[in-house]
A = this chain, B = another copy of it.
């Protein structure tokens, strides 16, 4: 039994905050928010005075392999950036993996890097899009982070040497679902999703297969949509309609769909997404860095469409930092609309917690009795978080930093304690990753 004792603030969600209470965790779930009573010997106690206990943040879109591509070219538009930054790395990794030389190990290492960075920043769950997951899932289990493995699928547009035959992709996807979907005992925090890379990188046939598999196995679908104007123009030329409308035509909006980016969604597409199980995953920093544009988050929210928040991969951000992402989301929308009232701190906090948890279909995202204990504990003692206000959510959103996170609990298990990773030896892993990564850099 873990007791988070005397929390100065318990942020149940963006709009419900309690002061000076305890949070009791039993097994995987929150047993009590209130007063735990006199201390008992079986308590694993964490002193939360001067701290805020918040729901674990959910990074609803990333590509962890890019943890090895931080600090690269920052002066390229999306297509050139793919060609010059990400493809060469992917190509090198694949070449070695296909030669069966055991270099899949590098995948484990980049996932460990990403998972450690996220845990240190209070992120308890992520959606990772990648093309191969066995070593990656091993890494998540090692660290103890919750994650959705979204199998990236493409059968057009990318260079030939990066394309797998379609049947191989299907086979690998089936195997992934069979082995890892829906919290198998060997990976109880993992589920699988289908990740058509983008409407323009998948054939009609592949998208139809994905639609069908999603239904058969009840799989979420995660796909990049309308990230750039180029993509929208391309879609109009090829299909006579913009990308999300095209997905609607294929029936994909009937499925739990993570529409990632959605920068250039048209008003008609926003209308199509209403009353459908669609979550738009907003990645403000990536959209800024790549110069893609500003997603119409205010319109989406007004239309009642669910919005979650993601960092995107580290090569276009270059942090997996949901505190920064929250404030970027608020600030970017305010400046894009030249109106500071269009969105506020509570809205983006909700996107990063409840919005993400709903997108991942996990019973978390708020702190309530009975829910999964995915929790971050944030230190408020630094001069940068000095607040003379009880409005703790705005303070967390605008002043909180990943480095303020002291403890993280996932599924009732402490994974960060006093700013130290509990589950893995961070220093050793970073050294290993540096050595292994050099071969691909």
Show the binding face of A for B, using Cβ within 8 Å: 67-72, 74-77, 81, 113-114, 116-117, 120-121, 229, 285, 287-294, 317-321, 324, 327-328, 330-332, 334-335, 337-342, 344-345, 381-389, 391-392, 394-395, 397-399, 401-403, 426-427, 430, 433-434, 437-438, 440-441
Closest A-B pairs by Cβ, 6 of them = A71-B395, A403-B403, A288-B331, A388-B441, A291-B340, A318-B398
Contacts of A293 in B (CB 8 A): 335, 338
Number of copies of this chain that the complex holds: 2
Most buried by B among A72, A116, A229, A438: A72
Contact of A340 among B69, B289, B381, B386 (CB under 8 A): B289
Q: Could you tell me if B71 and A399 are in contact, using CB atoms closer than 8 angstroms? A: yes
What is the CB-to-nearest-CB distance from A75 to chain B, in angstroms, rounded to a whole number? 5
- The docked-state distance in angstroms from the alpha carbon of A319 to that of B384 is 6
Contact present for B437 and A388 (CB under 8 Å) = yes
A386 touches B68 (CB 8 A): yes
Q: Do A294 and B116 touch across chains, with their CB atoms under 8 A apart?
A: no
Report yes or no: B398 in contact with A71, Cβ–Cβ below 8 A: yes
A291 touches B335 (CB 8 A): yes
Contacts of A113 in B (CB 8 A): 383, 386
Give, as a whole number of angstroms, the nearest-CB distance from A313 to chain B. Answer: 12
A332 closest partner in B (C-beta): B288
| Chain B residue at minimal CB-CB distance from A286 | B331
Pair B72/A394 contact, Cβ less than 8 Å: yes
- Apart from the given pairs A289-B334, A319-B398, A386-B430, 4 other A-B contacts in the complex at a CB distance below 8 Å: A121-B384, A287-B335, A293-B338, A386-B433
**15 A-B residue pairs with CB within 8 Å:** A68-B386, A70-B388, A74-B345, A76-B340, A77-B341, A285-B327, A291-B338, A291-B339, A291-B340, A291-B342, A293-B335, A319-B398, A328-B328, A383-B426, A386-B434
**A416 to nearest B CB, angstroms?**
12
For A321, what are the chain B residues with a Cβ–Cβ distance below 8 Å? Answer: 384
Residues of the B chain whose Cβ atoms lie less than 8 Å from the Cβ of A345: 74
Within the assembled complex, what's the spacing in Å between the Cα atoms of A434 and B117? 32
Query: How far apart are the CA atoms of A401 and B341 in the complex, in Å?
Result: 28
A394 to B121, CA, bound (A): 21
A76, A289, A438 pick with most chain B CB within 10 angstroms: A289
Interchain CA distance A335-B321 in the complex, whole Å: 19
Min Cβ gap A199→B in Å is 21
A325 vs chain B, min Cβ distance (A): 12
Asked if B120 contacts A383 (CB within 8 A), the reply is: yes
Chain B residues in 8 Å Cβ range of A285: 327, 331
Q: How far in angstroms is the closest Cβ of chain B from A180?
A: 24
Q: Which residue of chain B has its CB nearest to the CB of A68? A: B388
Contact, CB under 8 Å: B77 / A339 = yes
**Which residues of B are found within 8 Å of A292, using beta-carbon distances?**
335, 338
B386, A67: Cβ atoms closer than 8 Å:
yes
Residues of B within 8 A of A397 (CB): 74
Q: Is the CB of A341 within 8 A of B386?
A: no
Complex alpha-carbon distance, A50 and B135, angstroms: 28
Give the chain B neighbours of A340 by CB distance below 8 A.
74-77, 81, 289-291
Chain B residues near A120 (CB, 8 Å)? 382-384
Instruction: Enumerate chain B residues within 8 angstroms of A337, measured Cβ to Cβ.
Output: 291
Q: Which residues of B contact A384 (CB under 8 A)?
A: 117, 120-121, 319-321, 402
Cβ of A229: which chain B residues have Cβ within 8 Å of it? 338
